[in-house]
Amino acid sequence: MIYNRAFEKKGVVGKFVEFYGPGLSSLGLEDRATIANMAPEYGATMGFFPVDDITLKYLRLTGRPDHIVSLIETYTKEQGLFREDTDSAPMFNDSIEFDMSSVQSCIAGPKKPQERIPLFQVKQVFNETNKADHDWNKDHVNIDMDGVSASIGHGSLV
């Protein structure tokens, strides 16, 4: 979400956003996929990450044959598309710098997607929101089934 605000402020609508830099090595493929998949939310036509060792590891993990992974590695290296930590920064028309060590894990909500809750506060905010919005203890349903009575309410496992 922090990326979205920076991209909106920069004006990336209709642009291709490529992520680069030493911080990429600390982003797993799942995080990269999430950020790239959010391109419509930050207004870009697409967001993508260069091919690197993490990409190749993912290809192997998902069952791609070794000869295909080797072909991808060789091709991207020969074309200058493979990223390594020792590479100098590529040249772009414009860039935005993020200090990824300052980014705090959070979730959206509780009411609007632009609201942010740091993960360490989720339990507290969840409890406060539920107390303020609804009395969960009053919404129990009593049932009788095959001679067994039960009360089903919020959080019941059925």
Domain ranges of the chain: 2-103, 107-157
Q: Ranked by mean pLDDT, which of 4-8, 49-53, 84-88 comes out on top? A: 49-53
Q: Which two tokens stand for residue 57?
A: 């590891």
> Helix, strand, or coil here: 50?
coil
Query: Which of 52-56, 116-120, 153-157 tops mean pLDDT?
Result: 52-56
User: How far, in Å, CA of 148 to CA of 145, rounded?
Assistant: 5
Look at residues 89, 128, 95 and name the one whose alpha carbon lies nearest to residue 111: 128
What is the per-residue pLDDT for 13? 92
- Terminal-to-terminal C-alpha distance of the chain: 36
Percent of the chain with pLDDT over 90: 42
Sequence-ordered list of residues with C-beta below 8 angstroms from that of 110, at least 6 positions apart, any chain: 117, 125, 126, 129
d(CA 59, CA 41): 27
Q: The pTM is what?
A: 0.65
Query: Is the pLDDT assigned to residue 113 strictly greater than 90?
Result: no
Q: Which residue has the higher pLDDT, 114 or 106?
A: 106
What CATH number labels 2-103?
3.40.1060.10
